[in-house]
Amino acid sequence: MSQRPSLQVAVVMRRERVPGAMSRWQPWRWVLHDVTGHDLVPHAEHFGTEPRCLRQTADEQIWLHPGFTVELFRDDAEGYYLNAASPAPCWFVLWRMEEEPSLSDEVMAVPAMVSLSYHDAGRWLDAQENVDQVPAPPEVVAWMTEFMDAHLVVEAKRRKRPDSFRPLQDRFGNPASVSTEKMRGGGQNHGGGHGQ
């Protein structure tokens, strides 16, 4: 069986100051800054293997989290199609806040999964996870689209009709009909009142 197409990427998270009055309750917020290393070659060695702070100022911190594999799955071609067909195809990143500080002296946002599938993002959001997106570069969109074109199965236009649309038959297999006259309020069995 052939190996699934994959890319090795790193996720860049940014901690930034919350402006204005909201900063009284929450001085900082974490956002997805970028997904990088997607030049369709094996993972760049300079990323290393451990998360590290790339920049720290009074107003922001930028952290690189290497070592994510983005795979394309044949049975998720529709998820890639929905992403590619959007006005701005993107990377989807699921991230979580640490319970206890492990990388720094304060808790931080740590990416957990990266995908190009719209369906993955939907499942993560349904599970109440933090999901952010950043634009995917043209070469990644082309790579995803080529895979999608090879594996997307266009469903037949004619769907199976629900059983409720099948012709009614009696117990002998003869055509049957159902009268709904008495349920419309005009019949004699409503205790005398019309239009109730």
For position 44, what pLDDT does the model report?
53
Contact of 29 with 97, CB cutoff 8 Å: no
| Closest to 133 (Cα-Cα) out of 15, 41, 33 | 33
Local confidence band at 190 (pLDDT 50, 70, 90 cut-offs): very low
For position 86, what pLDDT does the model report?
95
Q: Which residues in 39-49 are b (16+ Cβ under 10 Å) and which e? A: eeeebeeebee
For position 43, what pLDDT does the model report?
47
For position 39, what pLDDT does the model report?
55
pTM as predicted: 0.74
For position 175, what pLDDT does the model report?
67
Q: Residue 143: how many CB atoms within 10 A of its CB?
A: 20
77-107 pLDDT, tens digit each: 999 999 999 999 999 999 999 999 998 888 9
For position 121, what pLDDT does the model report?
97
129-187 pLDDT, tens digit each: 999 999 999 999 999 999 999 999 876 444 555 555 555 666 666 666 555 455 444 54
For position 148, what pLDDT does the model report?
95
For position 153, what pLDDT does the model report?
81
For position 18, what pLDDT does the model report?
86
For position 23, what pLDDT does the model report?
73
At 49, list the tokens: 């293997």
H/E stretch holding 82:
helix 77-84
Say how far apart CA 33 and CA 187 lie, in whole Å. 68
20-68 pLDDT, tens digit each: 887 778 888 999 999 998 554 444 556 778 999 999 999 999 999 999 9
For position 19, what pLDDT does the model report?
83
H/E stretch holding 119:
helix 118-126
